[in-house]
Amino acid sequence: MNKAYPMKQVIDDQGNLVDTSSSSQISKELAQNAYYHMYRIRTFDKKAKSLQRQGRIGTYPPFEGQEASQVGSALALRENDWLFPTYRDHGAMLTFGSNMTRTFLYWNGRLEGCVPPEGKNIFPAAVPIATQLLHAVGASWAEKRKGTDNIAIAYFGDGATSEGDFHEGLNFASVFQTPTIFFNQNNGYAISVPFERQMNSRTIAQKGVAYDIPSVRVDGNDFFAVYFEMQEAIKRARSGNGPTLIEAVTWRTGAHTTADDPTKYRPEGLGQDVVDPIVRLERFMKNQGYYEDEFIATTQSKVEEEIEAAVKEMEAYPKANVEDLFDHVYANPPEQLMEQKNSYLQLLGGE
């Protein structure tokens, strides 16, 4: 199946253009825009990890190494499209227009972190595995029934393919030809479970065959490969030709979350040969004459100022109200839940 689904690539690790059919679509503006967003979310990610280690936010799931996949997919979307993220896709959310302060607030336990900017169709991060696929299919089906050409993208990892929601989502999307993009980021591990123990399939892309869904496998560390394949999938969806399954093969450099220790299950040295997606883009920009010191310096300064301002604004909020955990689940809370709430408040009062 690897031969049936070859990994599509536009630029190689050294930044050389290997797919000349895409050269006419690449511009200095596109490359610099990609760099801006990739550097922005990388810097956000590093800051969030630092804040967690300092006890200033809660447990955090880093995505370093997956910037090309998240930016390349999100930049291809249109203003009124829908984005359904996992808990690790805040890079895509930020690229699509999420507010950075609210993104920090989410990881600091505040409800405001689930509220998208006005006019943006961005669903709250899904912590349960694969549930967002069904939501994306439903939203895109609704858009189709309303007669719009808006589409929905659902992000998910390789572990989500073991969930029933994955198969139900693909089946429903296929039957009703919904304008849904199923965007998989395959980084080789679903927390401690390696890809080869997750499934016997050689690729995730081939799973679309059973549902007669067009599927493609791309180099997830190549911004241009992701971006152009997303454009093709979106074109099919908008024209009424149904869903697409995209497998972006990438590599997450760090832990599953800040509460995880990958040295316990990932062999030492694994992934060291993977070229950083930002480094790859920089090499391409230098090869093409798109790399400008002034642009890089301005971008980095602008991003760092934005992030520091967002952190300051996030920390100006009062601490999250622990009662929110109990008060917004049921219209009429059951007795057992109220007992739990009272016990917890008494515990906090004793501290």
What is the mean pLDDT of the segment spanning 147-155? 98
Please report which confidence band the pLDDT of residue 350 belongs to, taking 50, 70 and 90 as the band edges.
Answer: low
Residues 236-281: pLDDT tens digits?
A: 999 999 999 999 999 999 999 999 999 999 999 899 999 999 999 9
Query: pLDDT above 70 covers what percent of the chain?
Result: 99
Please report which confidence band the pLDDT of residue 320 belongs to, taking 50, 70 and 90 as the band edges.
Answer: confident
Q: How far apart are CA 314 and CA 327, in angstroms?
A: 23
pLDDT value of residue 31: 98
Please report which confidence band the pLDDT of residue 324 belongs to, taking 50, 70 and 90 as the band edges.
Answer: confident
Residues 195-242: pLDDT tens digits?
A: 999 999 999 999 999 999 999 999 999 999 999 999 999 999 999 999
Q: How far apart are CA 146 and CA 148, in angstroms?
A: 6
235-239: list long-range contacts, CB under 8 Å, 24+ apart: 237/140, 237/151, 237/179, 237/180, 237/181, 238/149, 238/151, 238/179, 239/149
Mean pLDDT of the chain: 95
Whether residue 289 is predicted with pLDDT greater than 60 in this model: the reply is: yes
Whether residue 351 is predicted with pLDDT greater than 60 in this model: the reply is: no
- What CATH number labels 7-319? 3.40.50.970
Please report which confidence band the pLDDT of residue 2 belongs to, taking 50, 70 and 90 as the band edges.
Answer: low
Count Cβ atoms within 10 A of the Cβ of residue 116 and give its class: 0-12 exposed, 13-18 middle, 19 or more buried. Answer: middle
* Cα distances (angstroms) measured from residue 334 to each of 187, 225, 298, 339, 348: 41, 51, 55, 9, 21
Q: Dihedral sign, CA of 226, 228, 231, 233?
A: negative
Which amino acid type is present at position 97? Answer: G
Q: How far apart are CA 118 and CA 166, in angstroms?
A: 29
pLDDT value of residue 328: 81
Return the beta strands (E) in the chain as ranges. 7-8, 82-84, 121-122, 152-157, 180-186, 189-190, 193-194, 215-219, 244-249
Could you list the active site residues? 252, 256, 265
Per-residue DSSP letter, 117: P
For residue 186, give the nearest of 212, 151, 210, 162 by alpha carbon. Answer: 162
Q: Which residues pair with 121 in a beta bridge?
A: 82
Give me the residue spans of the domains in the chain. 7-319, 321-351
What is the mean pLDDT of the segment spanning 168-188? 97
Query: How far separated are the first and last CA of the chain, in Å rounded?
Result: 58
What is the mean pLDDT of the segment spanning 143-164? 97
Whether residue 1 is predicted with pLDDT greater than 70 in this model: the reply is: no
Please report which confidence band the pLDDT of residue 100 belongs to, taking 50, 70 and 90 as the band edges.
Answer: very high
Tokens linked to 230: 């997303």
| Greatest alpha-carbon span in the chain | 67
Please report which confidence band the pLDDT of residue 45 belongs to, taking 50, 70 and 90 as the band edges.
Answer: very high
pLDDT value of residue 348: 80
Tokens linked to 117: 């900017």
Residues 78-87: pLDDT tens digits?
A: 999 999 999 9
pTM of the model: 0.94
